[in-house]
Amino acid sequence: MADFVFTYRDILEFLPHRYPFVLIDGVVSFCKEPPFIRAVKNVTLNEPYFQGHFPGEPVMPGVLILEALAQTGVIFFKNLYPEHKDRLFLLAGIDKARFRAPVFPGDVLYLELRGIKARRGIIKSTGKALVGEKVVAEAELLAGMR
């Protein structure tokens, strides 16, 4: 496993979420120029949503993959613009979302965002989720700052 640029403890400082809703285990790559972040989520059978999604055939819900991308986006933005580190970010929209393959317990989910635009309190970034080299989901994410 690669060394974390931001550990789980760092992530708890960047995100208002707590168990069971913190969906990022660490950040393995972060670059200010060009803007890029790569986070990791270790998908385990112990996740509470696997009890009902689906019994006997556990699959990570697509909406939670998008939420993990959104949480990665908050970490991304707060590190690019530290003057906003105490702001609350709320998911405002998801465009062009596509799910390419299921994610199962035991998978390591990599969450990547490239580029970020901020205008009038709205942040936009493009992200993708991968298992290995395979893209399993992608979307454009919008968030609002409070």
Question: Catalytic positions, please?
Answer: 53
Q: In this structure, what DSSP letter does residue 38 have?
A: E
What's at 18, amino acid-wise? R
What's at 123, amino acid-wise? I
* Tokens coding 134: 């395979």
- Enumerate the β-bridge partners of residue 98: 138
* Tokens coding 124: 């936009």
* Tokens coding 77: 């933005």
C-alpha distances in Å from residue 52, one per residue of 39, 102, 107, 112 = 26, 16, 18, 27
Residue in the structure block whose two tokens are 């969450």: 111
- Enumerate the β-bridge partners of residue 73: none
CB 31 within 8 A of CB 80: no
